[in-house]
Every structure is written in C-alpha cells, then in structure tokens.
Structure 1
Amino acid sequence: MLVVAGAMAETSLVAFRGWPSEALEFYEGLTADNSKTYWTAHLTVYETQVREPMTELLAALEPEFGPGKIFRPYRDVRFSKDKSPYKTHLGAWLEAGGYIQLSADGLAAGSGMYQMASDQLDRYRRAVADDRAGRELTTVIEAIEQARIHVQGHGSLKTVPRGYPKDHPRLDLLRHKGLVTWQEWAPAAWLGTAAARNRIVDFLRTSRPLRRWLDENVGPSTVQR
C-alpha cells in the first residue's frame, strides 16, 4: 500500500498543470532582448516555468500520441541575416503526429505534413487527383474546418503542377507542398491550468483524420538526404 501510495504521489508531482504567467513573461522579455545576457539571467525561469511544463505535457500525451521531443531553444543563424541566438518560442514534436508551440502570443498546435520530400509530394498529388482518395481528403478537410480548426497548405505553387489539368476540381490542394492543421489560442487564465492539455488533445483528435489520410496515401519519405 505504501509503495502504491508513493507511486501515486510521485505521479501527481509531475502532472501537467499548465504554464504560469512567468512563462509568457519570459518570452516577452526574450523578444525585447534576445541576448545571451538575458538568457543566462533568466535560465532558471526557462527551465522551471517553460520547459518543465512542456515535458509534463508530453508525458501526459504519450499514451495516446506517442513520445514527444522538445526542440532546442537555439536558432541556426549560419545562413540567416537575423543573428538573434534564441528562438522566441518553445516547440515540441509528437511521434504520432503533432506539433505544440508556446510563445508570448500564447499556445499553438499543428498536425500533418509541413514539408513533403519529392517522393512524398508525388504520391500526395497522385492521391489528390484520384477521384476516391481526393474526394475523401476534401471531406476530411471540410469536417475539420467545421470544428473551427484551420487546414492550410505550405509552400504552395502559384499554378497547377506540371502534368495536371489546369481546371482540376481540386486545383488548390494540388498546388500545396505541405498540408497541415493549425490552431492558435491567445493567452488566457486556462493556459495556467490542466485545461491547456484538453485543448491540445481535442485539437489532435480532430486533426487525426487528416494525419491518417496522409499516412495512408503519402507515407514516409524514402529519399536519401
């Protein structure tokens, strides 16, 4: 009994409780002063008020959405004119498909395939052009958008890709090089509670049909990078 009680107590200690206001204040400050001096002075805040809650959230989501990974807070400035060293948001990725982001602007989440490799893009376009698979995708998107979640393309071409008719009924979908669901929530009191997890879960569950369609019709890339 003592062992069980101890395990339950330990679990409760790491339960996700949301992000405190200090997390958003941290990113407000970092946006204003993106320097090593600011980062070093506020590192404890980042680790305890920003990163730790994200770690707890990923642990809570893992049984349904697989393990997650938190992205590094440092920017790759090698090929960028902007030499700011730190990202002004915290991002995390879920193995079963999903992206979570916290910034001074609040919470955001995405799901899908943001940037398809060449072989994935070929399979995607073929599926969109196919009557059965293409109509299924249209139905999936309509259902997701009725739930007030935005479905958007990435890297979209200005015209229909080569080899497809210019009057294709799913022209807009054919132009995309990536397809994702996306939702943003402005800062509010619920962000500092476990209700933040519920919003992410609802988003991921609603987005799941699109992810399933992409997995079945596009799949992983086999192109060597």
Structure 2
Amino acid sequence: MYRDVRFSSDKTPYKTNMGAYLNKGGKKSPTAGYYMHVESGRSMAGGGLWMPMAPELSKVRQEIDYNYAEWSKIIGDRNFKKVFPDGLEEEEKLSRPPKGYDDENPAIEFLKLKSFIVTRTFTDAEVQAKSFLKEIIKTFQAMDVFVHFLNRALE
C-alpha cells in the first residue's frame, strides 16, 4: 500500500501475508486473544499474550504463581498438548527468576517467560484444504481455557 513499485526494479509486494488478531478488548487492548497468519510457506494459528507491558506481565505471573495447579492442568491437558506439542513459545525468557520470586518456585520456568503464546503451523496444502476452517476452529478451541486464564489475570 505504501510501496510504489512503478519505478523500482524490485516488484515484490509490500505485504505478502494476511493476518487477523481477535481479542475481547479490541485492537489496542492488552488482553490475550487468537491469531491467524496466512502466508505461503509460513501459515500458522495461535494465541495468547505476546510481550505484555510490565504491569500486565506482573499480573499474569502472579496469577500463574497463585493458581499453578490450574495452570498446570491447562498446559498439561491432552488435547492442548496434541494441538500444541511444542508447548509455550520460549523465544524471550529471563535467565534468572523475576523480582519477588524464588528459584525454588515450582512455576519458575513459566514465571521467567516474557510472552505467553502457543502456535500451530500449517502447510500450504493444509491451508488450501476444505477442512482448513475446521482445523482453525479446533486450534482456537484447544487454547480457549488458556486465553481465558490469561485474561482473568488481567482483569
């Protein structure tokens, strides 16, 4: 849209993907939600809370700490693990426990996370299949309790 390719030798489009993010608070809200990304060779669906600001991150960590049994049940659910076999993304993670938490805390590996997201990738063939919508719905249903837990922490 903002890339004028009329006089450029590189005619690749500005954007080669389509994405949609749905959450209960709208576009600017810091709440957890559902995300779908369609791009040739890189399609995926996922959701959660990506890189929240410090106040929201603190609330989520506190909720996980106080309700670790419930969190473990959500993350350990058979269907959740089947849809998201890699579990939570750990791209950004603290090397030491966050301030106010002990290294012996049973939830410490989750408390070190800076984002709370899960993803499921799709091949181009899966995206083009008639069953793609059902698979997206199945993916979002599998993370529903996870997203609600995160949003409850932010209330």
- Normalising by the residue count of structure 1, what TM-score does the alignment of the two structures yield? 0.55
- Rg (Cα) greater in structure: 1
Give the one of 6, 14, 19 matched to 1:91. 19
Quick check: 2:44–2:119 contact (8 Å CA) kept in 1? Answer: yes
Mapped pair 1:170 → 2:104 = no
Q: Which amino acid aligns with 1:104?
A: S
Mapped pair 1:196 → 2:132 = yes
Partner residue of 2:147?
211
Correspondence 1:5-16 to 2 at 5 A: none
C-alpha displacement of 1:38? 3.3
Q: Which amino acid aligns with 2:114?
A: K
Quick check: 1:108–1:185 contact (8 Å CA) kept in 2? Answer: yes
What is the root-mean-square deviation in Å for CA atoms of aligned residues?
2.0
Q: Which amino acid aligns with 2:62?
A: R
Partner residue of 1:148?
83
**Take 1:162 and 1:148, find their aligned partners in 2: how far apart are those partners?**
33
Identity over aligned pairs, percent: 18
In structure 2, do the counterparts of structure 1 residues 178 and 154 end up closer, same or farther at CA, with 3 Å as the change threshold?
Answer: farther
Quick check: 1:145–1:151 contact (8 Å CA) kept in 2? Answer: no
Higher relative contact order (CA 8 A, sep 6+): 2
User: Secondary structure of 1:94's match?
Assistant: strand
1:90-118 deviations in Å (ceiling 9; x for gaps) = 22112342111112214201111011111
Q: Which runs of 5+ in 1 are unaligned?
A: 1-33, 40-85, 220-225
Higher helix share: 1
Q: Which amino acid aligns with 2:48?
A: G
What is the aligned residue count? 136
In structure 2, do the counterparts of structure 1 residues 106 and 177 end up closer, same or farther at CA, with 3 Å as the change threshold?
Answer: closer
Quick check: 1:114–1:154 contact (8 Å CA) kept in 2? Answer: no
Partner residue of 2:62?
126
Quick check: 2:49–2:116 contact (8 Å CA) kept in 1? Answer: yes
User: Secondary structure of 1:163's match?
Assistant: coil
User: Secondary structure of 1:101's match?
Assistant: strand
Q: Which amino acid aligns with 1:38?
A: T
Quick check: 1:154–1:179 contact (8 Å CA) kept in 2? Answer: no
Displacement over 4 Å in runs of 4+: none
- Normalising by the residue count of structure 2, what TM-score does the alignment of the two structures yield? 0.78
